Structure 1
């Protein structure tokens, strides 16, 4: 490559990246709540997708729209397990077209958020592209996509765009500040349910649990409380029992139990191995739907 050709390639790349950002910018908003600042994008003309983790539990929410105006927003629904929240605004936004292209490690991507009604882009690569997985809170995510880029906090909840201009998910922070993508399939599935029901149903044991280490070096979760009308009480579980097995598998952490309480767990019967006052027991428990708060 000649020295003379290098500047033209860089200029061309710069122009292409600016064009990608410009195409999605009319669909992006900045989201303000009492706890933080984040981004979001128009899923429908009056509905916005944003990162659930970035929203305060209460208080007012507003969004800075692409044209510079501000509008109040209300929460339609939120799902902590997939980090998807749905907001409604009295506005006529330009919905983004979400795609589900093949994603491969090494591909160039741009994560685009919004701050003060202006796009907030970050250039990087796909660091990891893997199969479906469950979040720490038990949510089913359609693909494991990690990005290699530096993301400003205000950009969380924004769009991820590939080199072809396809918006294929929402950018969020994962454990240890990893930058993750909630892909299109997950967003569409969860947002559709939130629009109708306002929440994603979760499995419920009716138990307060605490992870512990056993004297023999193993692990389990101790039952600290039992809801009187919950599935645990119906199965005869008692405060002080230690759950050591779940459907034949050792219980290594509380997280492992929580990850098995997704929407598809409701109505399922689980075989629990217990340790009670030094004795080992086997109990059958039927998972119920978590009550509405």
Structure 2
């Protein structure tokens, strides 16, 4: 029962339909994005490009602790009632499953890195029921995106990317995939938030949705109402293991860049600046006459790094990088990473109350994360 003290107020207008029509010019009702009949026509068009991904990994031996070889009571119990305790020589092949979607007729498929991580074999089941061996073209753990390739004897149905930048909170979205192995599952909801940071990595910029996402949905597409892929379903907030209406998807604008880079040579190349950064504190912001949260502070500069060669110093407050406003740590991290090594970019900093513009030629981030 709702609490009367907190229940929303209901205001009754003392106007009949006739008097209301006489007093107000009724505005036309905007067309809804979802047809009155639901999503059936849209789903029928896009579902053939959504696939089921299964993986097997290296078998893991049972540990001595799991085996309990000297537990005579348990050995006798198993002897009498059937079965036996696991032995250290027993092995357990690792298996997993997820979802994906076809982005090129020749068989390129997008999924999550965590779906295929450490996999020895990968198989893809298409919407028509055909099963194909897949190879991993490349993967990017930092954004959790992977690209697969299957050999098909005919062009495969594909889906197109849309712009995640254009998404607004409240827009309708559709999630598709294979939760719990139930391929072809469709759920719908809205965009609950954009640019979410869930502290899963340096490039967190997730779309949050209340469309039901469960285990097995990983790697599946998040569609807008036009049938364009605006995200890749990646994570859920789930205290109990099931959907509670809080799911996260990697935005399509980021995915497209990663996929293009992986398709080129199977590797991701990212720019590297060579600094340690920290948030601009409220106290420091007051001293500088700025609002807290605007800009990040360079804490240290790596010797002989691109930052050092450009003349950046500890204490500099980064305001913009390559035209991108820098309000928080991930803004600078993403802006630098999305630039090509060897590319020159301008970085604007605040130093001792004065704004400076420096030019930096980025290095290669490969190997720096370690």
Residue deviations 1:168-205, cap 9 Å, x none? 3443246965433634x665554334312434543311
Distance 1:110 1:220 in 2: 40
Q: 1:290 maps to which residue?
A: 364
Offset, 1:121: 1.9
Distance 1:215 1:125 in 2: 38
Q: 2:297 maps to which residue?
A: 220
Q: Please say if residues 122 and 151 of structure 1, whose CA atoms lie closer than 8 Å, have aligned partners that are also in contact.
A: no
Q: Please say if residues 172 and 182 of structure 1, whose CA atoms lie closer than 8 Å, have aligned partners that are also in contact.
A: no
Distance 2:325 2:221 in 1: 39
Q: Please say if residues 139 and 147 of structure 2, whose CA atoms lie closer than 8 Å, have aligned partners that are also in contact.
A: yes
Aligned partner of 2:315 among 231, 237, 242: 242
Q: Given the alignment of the two structures, is residue 153 of structure 1 paired with residue 228 of structure 2, yes or no?
A: no
Aligned residues: 264
Residue deviations 1:261-293, cap 9 Å, x none? 143583113233458xxx999683504142444
Distance 1:235 1:106 in 2: 43
Counterparts in 2 of 1:106 and 1:33: CA distance versus 1, 3 Å:
farther
TM-score, normalised with respect to structure 1: 0.64
Aligned counterparts, 1:202-213, within 5 A: 202-207=270-275, 209-211=276-278
Structure having the larger proportion of residues in strand: 1
TM-score, normalised with respect to structure 2: 0.53
Residue deviations 1:76-101, cap 9 Å, x none? 354845x5431223445723232649
Residue deviations 1:144-187, cap 9 Å, x none? 965321201311221234567x343443246965433634x665
Aligned counterparts, 1:70-89, within 5 A: 71-78=133-140, 80-81=142-143, 83-89=144-150
Q: Given the alignment of the two structures, is residue 24 of structure 1 paired with residue 85 of structure 2, yes or no?
A: no
- Structure number, greater radius of gyration: 2
Deviating more after overlay: 44-53 vs 186-195: 186-195
Offset, 1:43: 1.9
Counterparts in 2 of 1:281 and 1:107: CA distance versus 1, 3 Å:
closer
Q: Given the alignment of the two structures, is residue 60 of structure 1 paired with residue 120 of structure 2, yes or no?
A: yes
Q: 1:261 maps to which residue?
A: 336
Q: Given the alignment of the two structures, is residue 114 of structure 1 paired with residue 178 of structure 2, yes or no?
A: yes
Q: Can you give the 5+ residue segments of structure 1 that lack an aligned partner in the other structure?
A: 1-11
Q: Please say if residues 278 and 299 of structure 2, whose CA atoms lie closer than 8 Å, have aligned partners that are also in contact.
A: yes
Counterparts in 2 of 1:21 and 1:137: CA distance versus 1, 3 Å:
farther
Q: 2:349 maps to which residue?
A: 272
Aligned partner of residue 95 in structure 1, secondary structure: coil
Q: Please say if residues 30 and 115 of structure 1, whose CA atoms lie closer than 8 Å, have aligned partners that are also in contact.
A: no
Q: 1:7 maps to which residue?
A: none
Residue deviations 1:228-267, cap 9 Å, x none? 3x212323557xx333333499976432321331435831
Q: Can you give the 5+ residue segments of structure 2 that lack an aligned partner in the other structure?
A: 1-35, 58-93, 238-245, 286-295
